[in-house]
Amino acid sequence: MSDRTTEAPTRHARSLRQPYQQYHQRSVPAEDAELTHTGPGTPCGEYMRRFWQPVAMSSELKDMPLPVRLLGEDLVLFRTGDGRVGLLERHCSHRGTSLEFGRLEQNGLRCCYHGWLYDVDGTILETPGEANPKALCGRVFHGAYPLHEFQGLIFAYMGPPEKKPAFPHFDIFDLPGDRLVPYAINTPCNWLQVHENAVDPAHGVFLHTIISGTQFSTQFAKVPLMEFHEEPGGMFCVSTRRVDDRVWVRINDALLPNLMRFAYAWEEAEQVLLFGRGSGTKWTVPLDDTNCRTIGWRHFGELSDPRKMGNEAEVGLETVDFMGQTADRPYDERQRVPGDFDAQVSQRPIAIHAREHLVASDGGVTLLRRLLRQAVRDLAAGRDTTAVDVLSSGVVSTLGGDTVVIAPPQPGVDDKVLMQDVTARVLAILTDPANGAGEARRKRVQERLAKTFPGLGRIA
């Protein structure tokens, strides 16, 4: 299976092997629609609709309805006077006025034009201008999607009602002393190129360190050993670096279709750390094909921010305590010190896979696309998605986070081989289902790591 759209061997292809040939390379091939298009009825859009997707932060719902665009659909999000949340088709069932101009009432949202009142599930409660209210009330339903509000985020399920999965429970929901702080950032480009960022460890070396100066960890300047593996429900990427007598194994999870658990942004590997649980949990949700929203939680607490580098005051709507995630800097500064936003958005509104030259360090991108493509095709062929089952079955074990162990270089041993061996042993422990789930698993993993790699350090 190819991860690029097929392009016949053309003059363009031949011209790639010669200098000064842009004349023959000007035409831009079509985007990889199978993975980048998510509107109603598209294969990837149908796939994404099988999962709970975060729409907005609870704090965004104030005293007015909020027009939202999600997977190419125009909707309106609101909270009733009695505290319930609703997500309705934006255009009124009467004559199409946008419900963003509606009035929030105790038990629903009332259209401004002729006063029809809607409940959160789409029930038409009132048609006040009508002599016979029973003609429509309770007989016709306005379009609505179910919602689930959790830890300051509002999630929607936009798939077939009969396929609605249980809301997932991730292991990181139960970390002692950990606070989940919501944030949401809209980005004007396709969702996939933003999502791919976290399975691309090489960009941490260059964009975040060598090119732009240290934006996170000074240790990112070293090109790590990289590995990319499948896990139940998705994949993870591993970056291993040596720091003095220590070996640092860093993991990001990418669970299908669009969830990331990312490791600690500011880890310096100065001391032992056994199964640190990382800085964030985020979804990259398509708003439409050329706009997406990064939405999730930054984690704050002893376990997720041991160096106390985070700044909770900077986490919220259109802001997070990582530099370079928005357009909110002067253009000149963004050119001189670019961040993720600049790198991702400038890949074009929708990155053109057929124009890429993927290399070995893009192994995470390649694997992610392959898994996503297979899942999209499986669903289109009538096979339900195993990733949904993984997320719906009990506590979901994630791997994202950092482990730093004492493993000095050994005379006569190739240090790359040694680091690969350490990585393999760490992964064997982290991925062992015998560890159980949730907090019991975290403790068990820490015990086993401490036994395998003796040495003093942070054991939370």
Interface mask toward Fe ion for 182-201; x: CB under 5 A:
---------------x----
Residue 189 structure tokens: 């480009």
State which residue, 139 or 357, has the beta carbon closest to ligand FES. Answer: 139
CB of 60 to ligand FES, least distance (A): 24
DSSP annotation of 84:
-
Give whichever of 97 and 347 is closer to ligand FES, judged by the CB atom: 97
Site string for ligand FES, 70-99 (x = CB under 6 A): ----------------------x-xx-x--
Q: Which does 191 bind (CB under 5 to 8 A by kind): Fe ion, ligand FES, none?
A: none
Query: 92 or 202, CB closer to ligand FES?
Result: 92
Q: Under rule CB under 6 A, which residues in 342-381 are in contact with ligand FES?
A: none
Within 10 Å of residue 374's Cβ, how many Cβ atoms?
Answer: 12
From the list Fe ion, ligand FES, none, partner contacted by residue 11 (C-beta under 5 to 8 A by kind): none
> How many residues make contact with ligand FES (CB under 6 A)?
9
Question: Which of 325, 397 has the CB closer to Fe ion?
Answer: 325
Closest by CA to 429, choosing from 305, 174, 256, 251, is 251
Q: Which is nearer to ligand FES, 114 or 148 (CB)?
A: 114
Compare residues 144 and 189 and give the one whose CB is closer to Fe ion.
Answer: 189
Alpha-carbon distance 387 to 377, whole Å? 13
∠174-178-180 over CA atoms, to 5°?
A: 90
**Listed residue (279, 225, 289) closest to 36, CA to CA:** 289
148 binds ligand FES (CB under 6 A): no
Q: How far apart are CA 273 and CA 249, in angstroms?
A: 10
Decide: is 340 part of the binding site for Fe ion (CB under 5 A).
Answer: yes
Q: Which of 69, 114, 148, 377: binder of ligand FES (CB under 6 A)?
A: 114
Judged by CB under 6 A, the residue of 111, 172, 351, 399 near ligand FES is 111
124 lines the binding site for ligand FES (CB under 6 A): no
303-341 burial string, b = 16+ CB within 10 Å, else e?
bbbbeeebeeeebbeeebbbbbbbbebeeeebeebbbbb
* Amino acid letter for position 100: E
Judge whether 281 and 297 are in contact, CB under 8 Å: yes
| Tokens encoding 131 | 């002599």
- Judged by beta carbon distances under 5 to 8 A according to partner kind, the member of Fe ion, ligand FES, none in contact with residue 114 is ligand FES
Q: How far is the CB of 165 from Fe ion (least distance, A)?
A: 30
Q: State how far Cα 418 lies from the chain centre.
A: 32
Partner in contact with 340, chosen from Fe ion, ligand FES, none, beta carbon below 5 to 8 Å by kind: Fe ion
Helix (H, G, I), strand (E, B) or coil at 293: strand
Cβ(126)–Cβ(135) below 8 Å? no
Interaction of residue 173 with ligand FES, rule CB under 6 A: no
Residues in contact with 10: Cβ distance below 8 Å, sequence separation at least 6, in sequence order = none
In terms of CB distance, is 116 or 264 closer to ligand FES? 116
431 binds ligand FES (CB under 6 A): no
Taking the complex as a whole, how short is the minimal distance between the CB of residue 95 and ligand FES, in angstroms?
Answer: 4
Q: Which is nearer to ligand FES, 116 or 220 (CB)?
A: 116
- Matching residue, tokens 């062992």: 432
The three-class DSSP label of residue 260 is strand
The entry of ligand FES, Fe ion, none near residue 92 (CB within 5 to 8 angstroms by kind) is: ligand FES
Q: What residues have CB less than 8 Å from 97, skipping those under 6 apart?
A: 91, 111, 112, 113
The interface with Fe ion within residues 364-403 (CB under 5 A) comprises none
The listed partner (ligand FES, Fe ion, none) that binds 116, CB under 5 to 8 Å by sort, is: ligand FES
Q: Which helix (H) or strand (E) holds 212?
A: none
194 touches ligand FES (CB under 6 A): no
In whole angstroms, give the CA distance from residue 181 to residue 315: 7
Burial label, 181 (beta-carbon count in 10 A; 0-12, 13-18, 19+): buried
Which residues contact Fe ion (rule: CB under 5 A)?
Answer: 197, 340
Which residues contact ligand FES (rule: CB under 6 A)?
Answer: 92, 94-95, 97, 111, 113-116
